[in-house]
């Protein structure tokens, strides 16, 4: 008895002394424990004395709104500190070893960023140069769940999800604006840009990729669902209205690898596998299946399907995580020759005055 108590005293004491939180909460000091508890946040450095987990992209310079009298007068380096020494910088950042502490910074020139985008579509060949929307994996699952699964036939006749390896480079006009790599997310319907800011955006920055983050109020795919826009030829006309004249006058941003960052060459796209909705949902004869009485893939009101439970529970983080893992695993299993993940760039889409959400800095 005594022996084991003494044993515990030693062991427990040693454990207690070595104890460290395994992650840092948002707005807390992450200088030493750099893993953020909120997986959609990252640890950004002010200087050698302070770094904090924040969700919004960090802007270098003075964070004047910070209530702390030191932090609101000190320039932020905004180096992203990585949890483990061996971790790689995300797309768009380069390694930096200031003061012997490894961090990731935005380079001075617009960088090439290579990462995966996913797009849900029917069987038709997709013209990639004419303006499309796409998503990261959680963003795609969010879209399928919230907008596609509840209809028979599925919205836009969607039958498959294509994965693209996309390489982007911001124009110098965009990168001059706080070193941003994305613009405002622009909605393309039948390849026509329907956002009222579209012309303003393109005139100011060129045909730049856009990005937006999905709210967690609708579905819990995460940590961060993102939607992307890749503006193409004749952005103001629909597929069938596009003609040679406008293709020449309004060329869009699609071009051969590597994109140069000219106003009409901001992204290139490579097919990198696809999966079918059947593979994902396990419903193998969907056209017949969804027409059977009482067969419903997903009903938003009950938050359930009938004769399938694949989509049950849109807000359930565990079920959403399971579906997302299944989605990724099917790609990984079909295409072992390609990495299943290429990292996530920061969604730093720019806004115009008036659209701009209030800047949240440390606090
Ligand atoms: C933040 O943490 C670092 C490393 O543990 C420490 O040196 C520094 O003093 C802390 N900063 C503040 C303001 O507490
Ligand atoms: C920084 O915060 C302190 C304390 O809240 C405040 O008194 C001061 O005016 C702030 N400084 C700036 C430059 O905003
Ligand atoms: C912050 O950085 C700017 C630009 O590099 C510089 O002009 C300014 O003096 C710096 N301010 C402080 C307080 O270091
Ligand atoms: C080509 O399309 C543009 C934009 O839709 C339209 O304004 C123009 O009249 C068309 N030109 C021809 C020759 O059809």
Same domain assignment for residues 114 and 100 = no
Of ligand 4's listed atoms, the one at least distance from the Cα of 241 is 5
Whole-number Å distance, alpha carbon 80 to ligand 2 midpoint, is 25
CA distance 313 to 151: 17
Q: Are 53 and 25 in contact (CB under 8 A)?
A: yes
Coil, helix or strand for 63? coil
Whole-number Å distance, alpha carbon 47 to ligand 1 midpoint, is 10
- Nearest CA-CA partner of 94 in 83, 81, 103: 103
Query: To test the ligand 4 pocket, which listed residue (192, 239, 240, 246) has its Cβ within 8 A of the most ligand atoms?
Result: 246
Ligand nearest to the CA of 77: 3
pLDDT at 177: 85
Helix (H) or strand (E) holding 239: none
Whose structure tokens read 């622009």?
Answer: 186
Q: Which of 202-211, 291-300, 345-354 has the lowest mean pLDDT?
A: 345-354
Residue nearest to atom 6 of ligand 1 (CA): 49
Whole-number Å distance, alpha carbon 194 to ligand 4 midpoint, is 18
Q: How far is CA 249 from CA 198, 234, 236, in A?
A: 16, 8, 12
Q: Which two tokens stand for residue 329?
A: 């695993």
**Is 126 or 353 the better-scoring residue by pLDDT?**
126
- Could you tell me how many helices (H) and strands (E) the chain has, helices first? 8, 18
Burial of 123 (0-12, 13-18, 19+ CB in 10 A): exposed
Same domain assignment for residues 114 and 85 = no
Percent of the chain with pLDDT over 90: 81
Whether 9 has a pLDDT exceeding 90, the answer reads no
Whose structure tokens read 């959400």?
Answer: 357
Determine whether the shortest distance from the Cβ of 29 to ligand 1 is under 6 A. Answer: yes
- Nearest CA-CA partner of 269 in 300, 230, 220: 230
Q: Is residue 288 part of a domain?
A: yes
> Which whole number is the average pLDDT over 126-135?
93
Asked which of 58, 88, 105 is the last residue of a domain, the reply is 105
Of ligand 2's listed atoms, the one at least distance from the Cα of 73 is 13
Same domain assignment for residues 168 and 307 = yes
Asked which of 89, 105, 121 is the last residue of a domain, the reply is 105
Coil, helix or strand for 319? helix
Same domain assignment for residues 97 and 161 = no
Same domain assignment for residues 46 and 116 = no
Burial of 184 (0-12, 13-18, 19+ CB in 10 A): buried
Whether 57 has a pLDDT exceeding 50, the answer reads yes
pLDDT at 76: 95
Whole-number Å distance, alpha carbon 73 to ligand 2 midpoint, is 8
Cis peptide before 21 (omega within 30 of 0): no
Q: What is the pLDDT of residues 262-271, one digit of tens each?
A: 999 999 999 9
- Length of the chain in terms of residues written: 363
Of ligand 4's listed atoms, the one at least distance from the Cα of 237 is 5
CA distance 225 to 363: 25
Same domain assignment for residues 99 and 158 = no
Same domain assignment for residues 96 and 229 = no
pLDDT at 85: 84
Burial of 99 (0-12, 13-18, 19+ CB in 10 A): exposed
Same domain assignment for residues 84 and 121 = no
Of ligand 3's listed atoms, the one at least distance from the Cα of 75 is 1
Per-residue pLDDT band for 355 (boundaries 50, 70, 90) equals low
Same domain assignment for residues 29 and 147 = no
pLDDT at 359: 38
If one counts the domains in the chain, the total is 2
Whole-number Å distance, alpha carbon 106 to ligand 2 midpoint, is 28
Whether 361 has a pLDDT exceeding 50, the answer reads no
Residue 172 lies in domain: 109-363
Residue nearest to atom 3 of ligand 2 (CA): 69
Residue nearest to atom 14 of ligand 4 (CA): 243
Asked which of 87, 105, 123 is the last residue of a domain, the reply is 105
Coil, helix or strand for 76? strand
CA distance 296 to 312: 11
**Whole-structure pTM over 0.85, yes or no?**
yes
Determine whether the shortest distance from the Cβ of 363 to ligand 2 is under 6 A. Answer: no
DSSP letter assigned to residue 131 = -
């Amino acid at each position: 008895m005594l022996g084991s108590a003494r044993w515990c005293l030693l062991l427990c004491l040693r454990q207690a002394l070595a104890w460290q939180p395994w992650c840092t909460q948002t707005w807390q000091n992450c200088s030493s424990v750099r893993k953020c508890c909120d997986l959609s946040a990252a640890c950004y450095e002010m200087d050698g004395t302070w770094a904090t987990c924040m969700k919004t992209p960090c802007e270098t310079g003075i964070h004047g709104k910070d209530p702390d009298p030191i932090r609101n007068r000190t320039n932020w380096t905004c180096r992203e500190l990585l949890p483990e020494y061996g971790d790689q910088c995300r797309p768009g950042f380069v390694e930096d070893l200031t003061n012997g502490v490894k961090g990731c910074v935005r380079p001075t020139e617009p960088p090439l960023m290579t990462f995966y985008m996913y797009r849900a579509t029917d069987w038709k060949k997709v013209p990639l140069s004419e303006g499309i929307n796409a998503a990261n994996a959680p963003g795609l699952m969010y879209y399928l769940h919230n907008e596609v699964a509840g209809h028979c036939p599925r919205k836009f006749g969607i039958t498959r999800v294509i994965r693209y390896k996309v390489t982007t480079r911001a124009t110098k006009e965009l990168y001059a604006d706080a070193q941003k790599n994305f613009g405002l997310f622009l909605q393309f319907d039948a390849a026509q840009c329907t956002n009222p800011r579209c012309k303003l955006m393109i005139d100011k920055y060129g045909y730049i990729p856009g990005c937006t983050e999905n709210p967690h109020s609708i579905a819990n795919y995460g940590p961060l669902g993102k939607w992307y826009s890749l503006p193409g030829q004749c952005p103001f006309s629909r597929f069938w209205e596009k003609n040679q004249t406008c293709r020449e006058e309004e060329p869009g941003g699609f071009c051969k690898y590597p994109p140069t960052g000219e106003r009409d060459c901001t992204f290139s796209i490579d097919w990198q596998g696809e999966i079918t909705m059947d593979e994902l949902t396990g419903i193998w004869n969907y056209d017949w299946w969804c027409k059977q009485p009482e067969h419903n893939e997903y009903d938003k009101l009950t938050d359930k399907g009938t004769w399938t439970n694949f989509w049950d529970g849109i807000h359930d983080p565990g079920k959403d995580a399971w579906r997302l893992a299944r989605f990724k695993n099917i790609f990984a299993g079909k295409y072992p020759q390609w990495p299943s993940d290429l990292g996530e760039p920061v969604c730093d889409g720019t806004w115009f005055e008036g659209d701009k959400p209030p800047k949240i800095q440390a606090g």
